[in-house]
Structure 1
């Protein structure tokens, strides 16, 4: 049995004396989100002006994601005595990802066919102004399977870090780790340096997280100010379809997965509540990535497993994005009276099963991948994407939350599958809850 590495987690995730209620991160973010919604609703122009707060907070997070993943993966993989373990973890992760994303796509198609949110709209695609989606459709033409695979290999070693491409960083990290392990004892000093660097970046995350309420406030104020609450009312049926589908996926499919793995979904959601609220405010699952990795380590998951599964999951296990792509695709067909046979819908599912894996490789990923996929379906009115552009931001928030939950659970499942999950620590931490941050 492989020895579980002791996690080195950031100081703000170490339990200490309980803090005053107003210093809890989740409460601060929640209050910031409420204030942001209010500002965007009552003063839309001022709400839109808050956009730089959210954008710059995400830039700060992304600044540390690439080097943090590099350090975590390199230290974890290079510390392994048997490189077959790396391949085995990767293979098991991909099998799990493929199963869960297939289920997500299938549930999305079934739900939208049952609830029919676009039925009765009778919109003529030729009357739609496609100028608003021109940038997305242009990028969609560049999305191909060969292009996606080629994109994994960066042009330069440093280019992946400059652009913040997670798949490219993961690719470089694994190769570098293998090369470092081949040095044997000579590579040990470098391994220690990388471990210290990893802890340093986690501390940097701790500092930046003090700004998370400000980032959540700016992002949600902009969303409500620009798109308005009216968009929610106009697309109430579509939003209800998507969020009911997302709740079903989490509370049924992921809940069953958790039970089979021997733990409570509710306890896990409570454990990562800070990260979920942060994602809700920023509409970005990437904002929670560093702290999610730290919390999974604290739960007793092997550090190298966390370093491999979480970054890979952010590209290959986007359950929430899969749900929104299928719901939106069939909604557009219904709204424009475009008939899709069962065979065509199954074909759409199979195509999305492949194209969804590239959703994290470009900015505006899921929407661009959806445009590319719909463009490959003969007779499908791609112009119908205009219908969902205004409400997509609200749907993508739900998708980002499901993505984070799904990848957290995936890491735990793979770690237990690999027998590198400290079960005693895991259940003790889940029962105790997320704990308190140091002052």
Structure 2
């Protein structure tokens, strides 16, 4: 038997210079984009294709990243029962904390009352801007969502880019490989090698992140203007503070009970968080989140199941936004909600947030779906927050992203798939391997 291996260099990896760090480049790009959008708004709006192009590049690679991570993870599991067990624990976590996020938004909305005193007549509002969102909300039902998880063909899951469809195909494919056993070993080895190439492609695409963030933030500031925040500043400030409170207090407590610091996790993910902030899309950092969670000691199969599923079902930031925005509209239009009506709003939001999972602009669409079912709060009131929704989108995405990172570590610990040494090393900025960015190639064996 010949069993050559790919050697890794013995010398320690050289630390990158400050200016060459991705998070530094993205941060500088965000600041430059904001300045350009503010002082030259026409040029800022014209740079929208830069942000859109980068997000399309990342979405191009999301399908193979999820597929390869899940398939290679499941095929390496000792028992297939653990797949259902991990999924069950993940969904239990998602349900509890998604509901908690809705409750937090409801409580803060009642305490702060950011829309009180505006006394706006819904009949005077221009609703032309929300017609498309309302139409999408009516099209998005829970039944349609569940059927939409099943792709038309095995290949269409990848061509359509639907995360949940890719997840379903990957789980079934991984289980099939495990059931076939030894005859499928060559396929497993091929997929392991292919995953090394795909993650190298991810690192290449991430070099364009500063350009994408620059274009996206320049467009946002250029089109909507910072001045648009003044009129609805109370709502925006309340939402940002509530999201911060949720991350620091709620997720921070969960992190402490799990044995790590939420602040160290945020520092570890700083490049990805800045990318989410600049592009207003958590999907832009999904491939990097998968890689970093594995590097932080979470078992590959758990990361592959929890992260993609969490992107559709663990939307803490979106849920806070939904109840807070609904109460803001009710307060601004002079609608007094009883406790029963607020609880109904909460229950409907729990269901509608799942129905719109994975839909572009899900936060605003989900809010429209919720208000269309709860007629007490006027749907026309959404026109009030349309102008600042883009600014709240960044906060929604950031909170969702951090929530999914925490969920991955928690579920990994519950499942006994968390390497404490790797987690501590990653969160403290230390590397246990010669190269922090390269994944070792699996050994080849040939007769």
TM-score for both structures, normalised by structure 2: 0.93
Q: Which residue of 1 aligns with 2:75?
A: 78
Indicate conservation of the 8 Å contact 2:329/2:377, yes or no.
Answer: no
Matched, 1:92 2:89: yes
Q: Which runs of 5+ in 2 are unaligned?
A: 1-7, 439-447
Secondary structure of 2:428's aligned partner = helix
Between 304-313 and 371-380, report the one with greater CA deviation.
371-380
CA contact (8 A) 1:180 1:187 kept: yes
Partner of 1:124: 121
Find the aligned partners of 1:87 and 1:19 in 2 and give their Cα distance: 41
Deviation at 1:365, TM superposition (A): 1.2
Q: From 327, 330, 335, give the equivalent of 1:338.
A: 335
**Does the 8 Å contact 2:118/2:332 carry over to 1?**
yes
Q: Which residue of the partner structure matches residue 356 of structure 2?
A: 359
SS of the equivalent of 2:387 reads helix
Q: Are the aligned partners of 1:118 and 1:331 in contact in 2 as well (CA < 8 Å)?
A: yes
Number of equivalences: 427
Runs of 4+ in 1 over 4 A off after TM superposition: 433-439
- How far is 1:360 from its partner? 3.0
Q: Deviations over 1:226-249 (max 9, x none)?
A: 100111111110111101100100
Spell out the pairing of 1:304-343 with structure 2 (5 A cutoff).
304-343=301-340
Structure 2 residue 267 is matched with structure 1 residue 278: no
Task: Confirm or deny that 1:32 pairs with 2:46.
Answer: no
2:144 aligns to what? Answer: 147
Alpha-carbon deviation of 1:434? 8.2
The equivalent residue for 2:45 is 48
User: Could you tell me how far apart the structure 2 residues matched to 1:237 and 1:99 are?
Assistant: 28
Distance in 2, Cα, partners of 1:373 & 1:268 = 33
Q: Give TM-score scaled by structure 1 length.
A: 0.95
Task: Give me the CA root mean square deviation.
Answer: 1.7
Bigger-Rg structure (1/2)? 2
What do the CA deviations read for 1:306-364 (whole angstroms, capped 9, x no partner)? 00000010011010111111111111111111121111111111111121123332221
Determine the C-alpha separation between the residues in 2 that align with 1:412 and 1:93: 11
**2:443 — aligned with what?**
none
Q: Which has the larger displacement, 261-270 or 54-63?
A: 261-270
Q: 1:166 to 1:278 in 2, by over 3 A?
A: same
Please state if 1:215 is matched with 2:192. Answer: no
C-alpha distance in 2 between matches for 1:158 and 1:385: 38
Structure 2 Cα separation of the partners of residues 159 and 240 of structure 1? 42
1:438 shift after superposition:
6.8
Could you tell me which residue of structure 1 aligns to residue 164 of structure 2? 167
| Cα deviations by residue, 1:387-425 (Å, 9 ceiling, x for unpaired) | 111100110100100111010010000001111111122
More displaced 10-residue stretch of structure 1: 196-205 or 250-259: 196-205
Query: In 2, are the aligned partners of 1:324 and 1:396 still within 8 Å (CA)?
Result: no
Which residue in 1 is equivalent to 2:54? Answer: 57
